[in-house]
Chain A
Amino acid sequence: MIDGVPPDPMLERRELIQRVAHKTLNRRMLASRAVIGLCGLAFVVALVPLFAILFSLVQKGIHWWGIDFFTKTPLFPSLIDPNAVGGISNAIIGSLVIDGIAALFAIPIGVVTGLFLAESTSPFANALRSTAEIMTGLPSILLGIFAYQMIVVGFHEWGIKLPGIGFAGIAGSFAIGILMIPVIIKASETSLRSVPTPIREAGLALGARNGVVARKIVIPTAMPGLITAVLLALSRAVGETAPILWVIGASTINTWDPGHEMASMPLQIFQSATSPYTSLREETWGIALTLVVVVLVINLGSRLLAAWLQRERR
């Protein structure tokens, strides 16, 4: 370090590194900006279809909204009133009942199975996990066929006889529920697994049984994630059409009886959009907007609720 002493290789290297780092910094900054720009572009590209859909939905659908639209049953255009469309109260009630019943049995089954998968290391758990993953990818129309065969027309094979109940809301609930279960299993397992092991172990070290630790520690800790999981599965289910397409019938009257033929919003969209009457085809935009708003509200609501729960905890 003093005059006359040969140069220090470390100091030389320090200077070299600083020089190269300075020199490459501009290039790296440029590359960094370019990548950030590309990310922004990808973001915009992803948002354009979303906003285009929302825009046309609102533009063509909002004027259908009114008291009658939400409280009356559908009408069919006739010579007396060629533009009659009525309302979609039957579809709103149908969706509420069908998805409500589906949630009622899918949520407990899904969450309990998710808990089992998160806590157990048995081979059975692994098999169950794979099954759930395969079911997540199952085309939803197959569930519709399944529900139709098992519940609507009944099952007559190998000497087993299951009486069919005919077209009914409950058959739709069955199909939608089966569809929700694997989604809930996967998401709830993930959020239950995110509970740190030391926290579980703290409970076990106090002599608590596995079940007690799960009920008193793991589930409450994972609650925000569980709620999000369940509501996201529900928001997906609300929009599903294929599973209920030929199992719930297509009633045009208001009924809360799940044993009866029912309507639902996605099915109503399908029927209106394919109807021969122009006025009904136009009305489809109104129903579609309603459905999208319901899905958005469930989505945003689940996020807000989870965030609120998270904040309450601090």
Chain B
Amino acid sequence: MVDPSSTMVPMATQVATSLGTGTTGTGVIVDPRSGRIAMRLDNVDVSFNGRTAIRDATFDVPKNHVTALIGPSGSGKTTLLRAVNRLHDLTKGAVVTGRLMLGDTDVYKGGIPATLLRTRVGMVFQRPNPFPTMSIYDNVVSGLRFNGIRKKSVLEEAAESALVGAALWDSVADRMKAHASTLSGGEQQRLCIARALAVEPEVLLMDEPTSSLDPISTRLIEELIGELKDRVTIIIVTHNMQQAARVSDLCAFFLMGDDRAGEQIEVAPTKKLFSQPDDQRTLDYIQGRFG
């Protein structure tokens, strides 16, 4: 991110920030090509035991923007998301082909250990999953500790910064030693976001992060996503089209093809995708004719 030669970053960030509080209706079309690229997907296929789950995902993820993966169930969006930080490594029979670049690093063929990759690509899951035996503080700094950071001052700074970033600091600052299970569902999910942020990843993956939350907690998380993109590039999977429209700058739309494999139908700036998509199927989906 530190690259003084590029003046595009602050501009892109400004554009993003102006959109970030949840609307895409400001008239500014974010052109991801003007910003820098955080991730580049090139013909990414994921298959399980020979059955393709998602085929030919090809798009760029602009830095410090929110990219939403949308589409009906079975279109492979979560599968694609989990390929980004190599969670499929744990699944027997899972094969990822194509090129998936994180900056200059080839995620699959670059020889980077999965553990190091995952310090650079964080993840937040559908259901809040704080570690049940750890306190709030221990949860937040767990990622740093796992990676060998022991220095108290670093841990404390990182915890505060991450909790502030996740809009949780004010409510937990005086009870950091309390168990994570004492928090409400929405707070737990923000704790998980803080936990992911604490290792300062470049990219944050969110797999339907609000699907198990109530509308108020959902709104808080959506607002948070808008604020977070200054800090981290976000890729979010969502079933909720309104959510995609509210939080994302770029949208990738997927559908299940004839052979039950997910296919990328259209990738466009969110405003364009939701107002004048190129593909008839995208239009049908966003207008609620199916899905």
Interface residues of A (CB under 8 A from B): 1-3, 9-11, 13-14, 16-18, 20-25, 27-29
B90 contacts across to A, CB distance below 8 A: none
State the CA gap A1–B154 with chains docked (Å): 21
A17 contacts across to B, CB distance below 8 A: 119, 144, 147, 149, 199-200
B2 touches A1 (CB 8 A): yes
B10 touches A21 (CB 8 A): no
B147 touches A24 (CB 8 A): yes
- Selected contact of A18 from candidates B4, B9, B119, B158, CB within 8 Å: B119
State the CA gap A28–B4 with chains docked (Å): 35
The closest CB in chain A to the CB of B231 belongs to A10
B4 touches A13 (CB 8 A): no
Number of B interface residues, CB 8 Å?
23
A18 touches B161 (CB 8 A): no
Classify the secondary structure of A's interface with B. helix
Residue B132 lies at the interface, judged by CB distance under 8 Å to chain A: no
A27 contacts across to B, CB distance below 8 A: 148
How many contacting A-B pairs (Cβ < 8 A)? 53
A10 touches B4 (CB 8 A): no
Residue B157 lies at the interface, judged by CB distance under 8 Å to chain A: yes
State the CA gap A148–B161 with chains docked (Å): 74
Nearest-CB distance from B166 to chain A (Å)?
A: 13
A28 touches B148 (CB 8 A): yes
A1 touches B9 (CB 8 A): yes
A13 touches B148 (CB 8 A): no
A11 touches B161 (CB 8 A): no
Q: Which of B115, B116, B200 has the most CB of A within 10 A?
A: B200
A2 contacts across to B, CB distance below 8 A: 4, 7, 10
B202 contacts across to A, CB distance below 8 A: 14
List 8 additional A-B contacts (Cβ < 8 Å) besides A17-B199, A21-B147: A1-B9, A2-B7, A9-B161, A13-B158, A16-B154, A21-B115, A21-B119, A21-B148
B2 touches A20 (CB 8 A): no
- Residue pairs across A and B with Cβ atoms less than 8 A apart, 9 shown, are A2-B4, A3-B4, A10-B161, A10-B200, A10-B231, A17-B149, A20-B149, A24-B147, A25-B113
Residue B1 lies at the interface, judged by CB distance under 8 Å to chain A: yes
Residue B127 lies at the interface, judged by CB distance under 8 Å to chain A: no
State the CA gap A241–B287 with chains docked (Å): 74
Residue B120 lies at the interface, judged by CB distance under 8 Å to chain A: yes
Nearest-CB distance from B151 to chain A (Å)?
A: 9
